[in-house]
Chains A and B, each alone.
Chain A
Amino acid sequence: MDLSNVTRYQSAVAVEAAAPPVVIKRRGYLLIWPAFLYLLAFLIVYPFGYNVYQSFFEYSMLTDTSWFAGLKNYVGLFTSPEYLNSVWVGSLIAFFCLAIETLLGLSIALVLNQNFKGKVLARILLILPLGTIPVINGYMFNILFFPNASVVDHILNILGIINGPMNWLQDPIKARIVIIAMDVWQWTSFMIIMILAGLSAIPESFYELAKLDNMSTWKTFWRITLPKIKFPLALAMLIRAMDLLKFFDGVYALTKGGPQSATETVSFYIYRIGFKAFNVGYASAGSIIVWAIIWVMSFIVISKVFAAKEKAV
């Protein structure tokens, strides 16, 4: 055997001079631009820019003039008990809604993912609320919790849980519970769909392996089910969280923020201050703050959960 083969392999290729560097452009990435420009035009530049601009101005409806106010609106908001209250109320409602919807959605989806008679029917019935119109749900819940004629009171009285009328919508705490119940009622279905989708992507073999390992149901859930549905679950929670922090429709239809602004969310405050009191500067500054809060929250969620997904792929 010829020993010349043993030399470390180097450039054995004799092509003319060094080839020029090839610059090749594949332009498929440009396809992101239509969507981006669309949002830029209709949501970012104008509405968002307008709000940023207005948030630094004060406006008088009497004279229809506005003047530069610097950070006055922001400072004013942070010292306004009304605004701080709405942030607190909004976060409180958002937190409870998200927590309950996630837990309920997860438990119902896990049950619906099993095999039993009537499964399809149960699945359909449990995602029906998704098809209803939020404003009209507001009116329906109004009837269900109507003062002195509450259907819910009636049922709870029959079951012996409460005694006498509850006057749900007159009490600050109870009114919040009703608001939360309404959102949970409508949007748990959304969670169920998203989680079912995640569950249906888990191959059966995973569960069989778990059974072979004699894993308990609880352990199977934590070790196999949850990691596998992490991504759709996080996405669904993110979509819900974004919408919940802007919670408006239900409040508008059911309580109009009352009693005594106990259910006034940030969105509703902005609506009231901007549209009823025409304090545009305040409303704009208020929205920018909400926007910033959701921005930070989403950024954290996305960089943690979704970056982990990228790596896994």
Chain B
Amino acid sequence: MPEVILDRISKTIQKKKILDDVSLKIDEGSFVCLLGPAGGGKTTLLKIIAGLEVPSAGAVYFGPENVTGLEPYKRDVSMVFQDFALYPHMSVFKNLASPLTAKKLSKPEIERKVGEVARFLKIDRFLDRKINQLSGGEMQRVAIGRALTKEAQIVLFDEIFVNLDYKLREEMRVEFKALVDELNITTIFSSPDPEDALSLADKIAVVREGQILQYGPRDAVYQYPVDVFTAQYCGYPEMNLVDCTVVKNGGELQIDAESFQIPLPRETLAREITPGSYILGVRPEQIRIMEERQENGVVIPGQMVLTEVIGSDTIVHIDVGRHTIQSFVPGIYRTITDKPVYLNFDTKAMYLFERETGAFVARGT
């Protein structure tokens, strides 16, 4: 099972730079998620790995072998497309058998292997059906099944959950995780949805405007985002960001965000910082809501303005003067408007970013 190496890949399509000097090393058997907004170059990157696009500069290696110019049908890669790309003029069976007919296997062999995959994905009942007789979820399974019958070492998934509705997406994600764990293949998965990345991937590469902003183990990317964009993008709901200044107050540093102040005694942050303009970030899931003032951690009084129930969790919007802060709490809550509430979070959960560049500065310890 080879590792996949992208070495200084650039791609220009019709004078537009889609990928700009991208390098990535994907370990064999790992699950990497390319996370980022639409139009950032994720699909192009996958197509370059698959051989469907040729990079304008740079090279692709599968293990030691340079495969940059190799035709897609000679590569040990399969891919599941966003729109599934099932062949509408063939039955489900023929769709699943397509990689096997390409290998010129015997008929009983093909039937055996298709049967195996179909049972594995619980689509063996539909084998005779036409593609247009399938539901979205069934089409998804057939598409995955077709990628599996090839028995390729590297499987690419291009935003495959985007076209599914919320409920189905949740279900498929769980099943998909189990499936991939069982198969032990190198998986590269692109998604605009941080939940996909955080629940599925070993490693996350944040892709934006043709560049990889950050690449690392999932927890590292989540806990140590390199900049404001990554911090905000990698997490749902998005990280709260508040413009602030760090000032010297007596001997002590203090964060001044106009609506509230947070003292910064030594050792609060992992490194020393100088007074200046910063952005303060705290993830919504790190913020608790108290009805009574409490003494440990940071406490900010505010007024609840809105609650959004998502599944069995609630996003609470709290007005703290000039800013609205979101808190993500398990369970279902109703808006309390008649009395103030208190936001409470640990200084460990604080991030500081440079105001000008958005680059990461420090986080609490």
**Which residues in A have some Cβ–Cβ distance to B below 8 Å?**
1-3, 5-13, 15, 18-19, 21-24, 26
Size range of the chain B interface in the assembly: 20 to 34
Decide if A1 touches B215 in the complex (CB within 8 Å): no
Given A8-B226, A9-B215, A18-B8, answer yes or no on A1-B59 (Cβ-Cβ < 8 Å): no
Bound CA span A24–B221, Å: 36
Contact assessment for B69 and A24 in the assembled complex, using a CB-CB cutoff below 8 Å: yes
Within the complex, what minimum Cβ distance (angstroms) separates B346 from chain A? Answer: 16
Taking CB atoms, residues of chain A closer than 8 Å to B235 are none
**Please, which residue of chain A has its CB at the minimum distance from the CB of B6?**
A13
Residues of B within 8 A of A (CB): 5-8, 23-25, 54-55, 57-59, 61, 66, 68-69, 205, 212-217, 219-221, 223-224, 226, 270, 359-360
A22 and B68 contact, Cβ closer than 8 Å, known pairs A6-B226, A9-B216, A15-B59: yes
Shortest Cβ gap from B36 to chain A (Å): 13
> Contact between A13 and B7 (Cβ–Cβ < 8 Å)?
yes
- Bound-state Cα–Cα, A65 to B77, Å: 71
| A12–B68 touching, CB < 8 Å | no
Are the CB atoms of A24 and B54 closer together than 8 Å? yes
A28 shortest CB reach to chain B, Å:
12
A-B pairs with beta carbons under 8 Å apart, 6 shown: A5-B217, A5-B221, A13-B5, A19-B7, A19-B68, A22-B68
With the chains together, A131 CA to B221 CA distance in Å?
Answer: 68
User: Which residues of the other chain, B, contact A1 by a CB distance below 8 angstroms?
Assistant: 219-220, 223-224
Choose among A2, A10, A13, A21 the residue that contacts B25 (Cβ–Cβ < 8 A): A13
5 nearest A-B residue pairs (beta carbon): A19-B59, A24-B69, A5-B220, A22-B68, A6-B224
Chain B residues positioned under 8 Å from A2 (CB to CB):
220
Task: Please measure, in the bound complex, the distance between the C-alpha atom of A13 and the C-alpha atom of B59, giving whole angstroms.
Answer: 11
Q: In the assembly, what is the distance between CA of A3 and CA of B217, in Å?
A: 13
Q: Is the CB of B66 within 8 A of A19?
A: yes
Query: Residues of B contacting A8 with CB < 8 Å?
Result: 213-214, 226, 359
Q: What residues on A are CB-neighbors of B205 within 8 Å?
A: 9
B226's closest neighbor in chain A, by CB?
A8
Residues from chain A with a CB closer than 8 A to the CB of B55 are 22
Q: What CA separation (Å) do A11 and B5 show in the bound complex? A: 11
**Complex-state Cα separation, A9 to B32, whole angstroms:** 15
- A-B Cβ contacts below 8 A, count: 63
CB-nearest residue of chain B to A8: B226
The minimal Cβ–Cβ distance linking B145 to chain A, given in whole angstroms, is: 28
Return A187 CB to nearest CB of chain B, in Å.
34
Q: Which residues of B contact A24 (CB under 8 A)?
A: 54, 68-69
Q: Tell me the complex Cα distance, A235–B23, Å.
A: 45
Check B7 against A9 for contact (C-beta < 8 Å).
Answer: no
Is B23 in contact with A11, judged by CB distance below 8 angstroms? yes
Q: For residue A7, which residue of chain B has the nearest CB?
A: B226
CB atoms of B23 and A12 under 8 A apart: yes
Q: Which residues of A are found within 8 Å of B61, using beta-carbon distances?
A: 15
A15 to B6, CA, bound (A): 10
Q: How far is the CB of A14 from chain B (nearest CB, A)?
A: 9
Q: Name B217's closest neighbour in chain A (CB-CB).
A: A5
In the bound assembly, the distance between CA atoms of A15 and B213 in angstroms comes to 21
Closest to A18 in B: B8
* Pair A3/B216 contact, Cβ less than 8 Å: no
Complex alpha-carbon distance, A8 and B215, angstroms:
9
Q: Which residues of B contact A12 (CB under 8 A)?
A: 23-25, 215
Q: Considering the chains assembled together, what is the distance between the CA atoms of A5 and B215 in angstroms?
A: 8
Given known A6-B226, A9-B214, A9-B215, contact A21–B6 (CB-CB < 8 A):
no
Shortest Cβ gap from B210 to chain A (Å) = 14
Using A13-B6, A19-B58, A19-B66 as known contacts, list a sample of 5 further A-B pairs with CB atoms less than 8 Å apart, ordered by residue number in A: A8-B213, A9-B213, A12-B24, A13-B24, A22-B55
Q: Give the shortest distance, in Å, between A256 (CB) and chain B (any CB).
A: 52
Residues of B within 8 A of A13 (CB): 5-7, 23-25
Taking a contact as CB atoms under 8 Å apart, the answer to whether B215 and A11 are in contact is no
**B7, B223, B270 — most chain A CB neighbours (10 Å):** B7
Q: Which residue from chain A places its CB closest to the CB of B219 in the assembled complex?
A: A1
Known A1-B223, A8-B213; contact A22-B54, beta-carbon cutoff 8 A:
yes
